[in-house]
Structure 1
Amino acid sequence: MTPDWVESLKAVPRALFLPTLMWAHDMTTGESVPVSRTDDPDEWQRQAFTDVPIVTQWDDGEHEGTEPGSLSTSSASMPSVVTSMLRDLDVKPGLRVLEIGTGTGWNCALLAHRLGSENVVSVEVDGAVAAQARTNLSRAGLHPDVIRGNGELGWQRDAPYNRIIATAGVRSVPPAWLAQTRPGGVILAPWGTHYGNEDALVRLTVNEDGSASGPFLRPVAFMKLRDQRLDWERFSDYVSAFPGDAIRSTTRLTPNDLGSQYETARFVTGLVVPDLAHVVNQPDADTTNAWFFDLTSRSWAAVVFRTGEPFATAYQSGGRQLWDEVEQALTWWAREGRPELDQFGLTVLPDGEQRPWLGDPMNTIRTG
C-alpha cells in the first residue's frame, strides 16, 4: 500500500461491502468456510478485517445453502492484493478509470473515493451482483456508474480511459480494452493461460499505434472472465481407451520439474506451449499422473511417474506431440537460466494477438 490510499481505505472498509453470509478462504487448508453475521457476528467481523479472500457467490448465483458450492464466481479479494494492485495502477486526480468486474463494489469504492465517482465506471456481467454492488456503494455515499455488461467489451460510451483495471483473470486481453485506453494509459490485469488456473499480474502501457506492452509483476489468482473460463468437460471423451494407440516414450523429468501452482516453470510452460491444458493427479501414494490436452484438436498426452523409478513413461496421441512440446519448453527455460516470472512480459496487438517476451518486447518468445 502507498500512503495516498490510506484515507480511502479508512473511509470505505471492506466490511461495508460484505454480505451477511459469506465464505472465508482458509489459506492453510484451501477450504472456504461459511461465516454468518447473524449467527456469529464476532467471527464475521474478524474475517472481514483479515487478509483472506472471501467468496460472496457460488455457481453464478445458482447455489443455495450455507455449504460451499462447486465453483466460486464472485468474491472480495484479499486486502493486500487490492491495495497492491491499486498501487500498481498509479492513479492521480483527474484520471478516468474503467474497472472490469465490480464484484462487491469495494475496489470500485476505493477508486471512486480517491478520484470522484464521476471518474469511475465499472462493468459487471452478473445482474444480481451489479445490483448489490450499487446498493453497497450507495450506502457508502458513492455513486460511480456500475454497468451490467460483458467486461470483454469494456464500456465504449465513456471512453477513452486513462486506466483500465481488471479484477477477473483473463486468458486474452480483449482488443476493446486497448481501443478504449488513451495512448500512454495503463491496463492492469491478471493474465494467464489455460495450462494452469493461476494468473500473473501484467501492467500494459498503451502505445500510439494502438498496441500495448509491459511486464508481468507477480503471481496472483482470480476468478476468470465468464467467457474465458476453461470447460473441462470438453476433454471428457478425448481418451476413449488408455493407452490405446498412443506412442510410448520415456523421460527423465519428474513432477517437480513441471512446477506446482505459482511456480515459474508452470507459468513458462503455458507461455511457450500454446493452446494447452493440463492436470496432475495422484491415484496412489507411489504414482503421479500428468495429463495434457490440446485446445484446438483432440491430441492428448499422459506421463506416469512412479516413485523410485529413474524414468517416467509418456504416452502421446494425436497430431500434436504434446509431451515433447512441454519437454522442449522446460529445456528452453533451463537453457535461458531459469528466468523468474518478472523477467517476462506481454505485448498485445490491436487485433488481439498476444505476444509473450523475455527481457525486452523485441525478444518475442517463439511459441508452438
Structure 2
Amino acid sequence: MSDHEQLHRQLIDSMTASGSLRTEPWKRAAEAVPRHEFLRGGFFRLVPGSVPSAWAPVVEEGDGWLEGCYADESLVTQIAGTIVPADIRGEIMRQPTSSSTVPSLVLRMWEDLQVDPGSKVLEIGTGTGYSTAVGCARLGEENVTSIEYDQEVAARAQTALGRIGMYPTLVTGDGLLGHGDGAPYDRVIATCGVRTVPAKWIEQTRPGGLILVTVGGWLGSSELARLTVHEDGTASGPLLGGGVSFMLARPQLPPPLGLLPDLSVGKERETVTGADVLNNWTSRFVVQLAVPHAQRLTLQQDARTEDVLIDTKSGSWCVLYEEAGRWMVRQDGPDALWDAVEEHLGRWHAAGTPALEEFTVHVTAEGQSIRW
C-alpha cells in the first residue's frame, strides 16, 4: 500500500469512527476520491502565534504536504483573490479567499442532502473539486453540475477532476444565479455561505427538492440549513446544528467600512446586555438577525476595549464598553442598533434560549426570515 493509500484509509476510518461518514454508499464514494489529487497546487498553513494571521505555503511533495492532504482539516488554497502557494516564498498576511473544505464536513453535507440514486444535483462553489468528485462517485458525473465564481479556481478544479477521470458539467459564473440551463434540479448543495438564500436556487429546484446551504451573516455566526422547496415557489426548513461555517459568497461579502463616524457623540446609557453576547456563537446568530447589516470592529480607546457595531445600510452605530463592572452603550444614527439587539435577545431568552437546531428558515418572494 502506497503512502497516500495508507493515509487515505486512515482518513476514511477516522471519519467513520467520528460519525461524520455514516452510510456505506458515501463511504464507497469517499474511498474513490484521492484528496491529494485536488491539492497538487499546494496549500497554506497558518503560522502559529502570528498576529495578524500569517500564512506559509506548503507545496506539492514538500514537507508535510501529503500528510496535510489527508488530515481532516480545512486547507486554504488561495489568498487575497489571486495568490496561490506557488506565488509565495515566506509568509503572507492577507485574507484567505478559497479553501478545501474539511473532508468530514464534505461527507456530512452530502449525506444531509438526502439524495436518491439518480438525483440531479447543482453544487454551488466547485472550489478544488474534491466535493464535486465525491458527488460524482456516488451519483454519476452526468447527474452533477458545479458552478464556480473564480475562473482560475474553476480551471484548477477541472484539471484535477480530469486527472481522476471525472467529467461533470462545470460552469464558471455567479453561483447565486444558479445554472438555469440544467434546471430543474432535485438537490442544490452550497459550499459557500450566504446571508440570504437566492431566489434563483428555489426557482431551479423542483417542488419537493432540497437545498442545503450555510446561512449566516457579517458578524460571523452561521449554520447549515436544509430547505424543502414547495409548490408555491417558497422554501422552508430547519437549521441542522453543528456550528458550520463557510466563506460567504463573494457577491454577499460586506462592503468596506470606509471612514468611521464620530464615535464620541450619541446617547449613552447602561445596559444589562454586554458585548460578551457577540462572543457566543448562538447569541451572536440572534444578534445578527436583529441587525443584519451591521459589521463589528474592536477598538482600544482610553485604555479600554470598545466593541463597535456599524450598520452599513443606515449608518447607525453603537459602542459598548465596561466601566466599573457595568456595561455601557453609546449609540447614534436613525436606528438605535443596541435597542434592536436587546429586544431580539429578550424575546429569545423569554422563549427559553432555544438552540439553533430549533430555528427555521422561511424564504418567500418578499424575502427571508429566520425564527425559532
Common fold, TM-score beyond 0.5?
Answer: yes
**Residues 331 and 27 from structure 1, CA distance in 2 versus in 1: closer, same or farther, beyond 3 angstroms?**
farther
- Shift, 1:77, TM fit: 0.5
Quote the Cα distance in structure 1 between the aligned partners of 2:93 and 2:178: 29
Which residue number corresponds to residue 217 of structure 1? 240
State the shift of 1:290 in Å. 1.3
* Residue 149 (structure 1) shift: 0.9
Unaligned runs of 5+ in 2: 1-20
Shift in alpha-carbon separation, 1:25–1:86, aligned structure 2, 3 A:
farther
> 2:174 aligned with 1:124, yes or no?
no
**Deviation of residue 238 (structure 1)?**
3.7
* Sequence identity (%): 38
The offset of 1:122, in angstroms, is 0.3
Task: Tell me the TM-score normalized by structure 1.
Answer: 0.88
Q: Is the 8 A contact 1:175 1:352 kept in 2?
A: no
The answer on 1:316 being equivalent to 2:331 is yes
Whole-Å separation in 2 of the counterparts to 1:2 and 1:278: 38
319-328 or 180-189, larger mean C-alpha shift: 319-328
Residue 237 (str. 1) matches residue 259 (str. 2): yes
Contact 1:121 1:144 in 2 (8 A): yes
- 1: CA distance, partners of 2:270 / 2:371: 31
SS in 2 for 1:19: coil
- The whole-number CA distance in structure 2 between the counterparts of 1:115 and 1:137 is 15
How far the C-alpha of 1:294 sits from its partner, in A, is 1.4
Aligned to 2:40: 19
Answer yes or no: is 1:301 the counterpart of 2:318.
Answer: yes
Choose the corresponding residue for 1:279, options 281, 294, 297.
Answer: 297
State the shift of 1:62 in Å.
4.7
- Say what the alpha-carbon RMSD is for the aligned residues: 2.1
2:44/2:55 contact within 8 Å kept: yes
Distance verdict in 2 for CA 1:280–1:335, change over 3 Å: farther
Q: Please list the CA deviations of residues 106-133 of structure 1 after superposition, one character each: whole Å capped at 9, or x if unmatched.
A: 0000101111111000001111111111
Partner of 1:72: 96
* Aligned mate of 1:55, from 69, 76, 79: 76
Amino acid across the alignment from 2:143 = N
Asked whether the equivalents of residues 20 and 38 of structure 1 are also in contact (C-alpha less than 8 Å), the reply is no
In structure 1, the partner of 2:309 is 292
Q: CA deviation at 1:317?
A: 1.0
Partner of 2:355: 340
1:37 is matched with which residue: 46, 55, 60? 60
Pairing 1:326–2:341 present: yes
* Preserved CA contact (<8 Å) 2:54 2:93: no
Give structure 1 stretches of 5+ with no counterpart. 359-368
Aligned to 2:285: 267
User: Hey, what does 1:364 align to over in structure 2?
Assistant: none
Residues 157 and 115 of structure 1, relative CA distance in 2, 3 Å threshold: same
Match of 1:5 among 26, 36, 53: 26
Shift in CA distance, 25/6, structure 1 to aligned 2, threshold 3 Å: farther
Q: Is the 8 A contact 2:221 2:284 kept in 1?
A: no
Where in structure 2 are the equivalents of 1:123-272 lying within 5 Å? 123-194=147-218, 196-218=219-241, 219-231=243-255, 233=256, 235-239=257-261, 241-244=262-265, 246-256=266-276, 258-260=277-279, 263-272=281-290
Task: Say if 1:170 and 1:192, in contact at 8 Å, map to a contact too.
Answer: yes
Q: CA deviation digits over 1:276-313, x for unaligned, max 9?
A: 222345669x733111111321111111224xx23222
Q: Which amino acid aligns with 2:36?
A: A
Q: In structure 2, what is the Cα distance between the partners aligned to 1:75 and 1:203?
A: 23
Aligned equivalents of 2:93, 2:35: Cα separation in 1: 23
1:238–1:300 Cα contact (<8 Å) kept:
no
Give me the whole-angstrom Cα distance separating, in 1, the residues matched to 2:48 and 2:22. 25
When the two structures are superposed, what TM-score results if normalisation uses the length of structure 2? 0.87
Task: Give the 3-state SS of the residue equivalent to 1:60 in structure 2.
Answer: coil
- The aligned amino acid for 2:358 is Q
Kept in 1, the 8 Å contact 2:55–2:93? The answer is no
**When the two structures are aligned, how many residues end up with a matched partner?**
345
> Which one-letter code corresponds to 1:313 in the other structure?
M
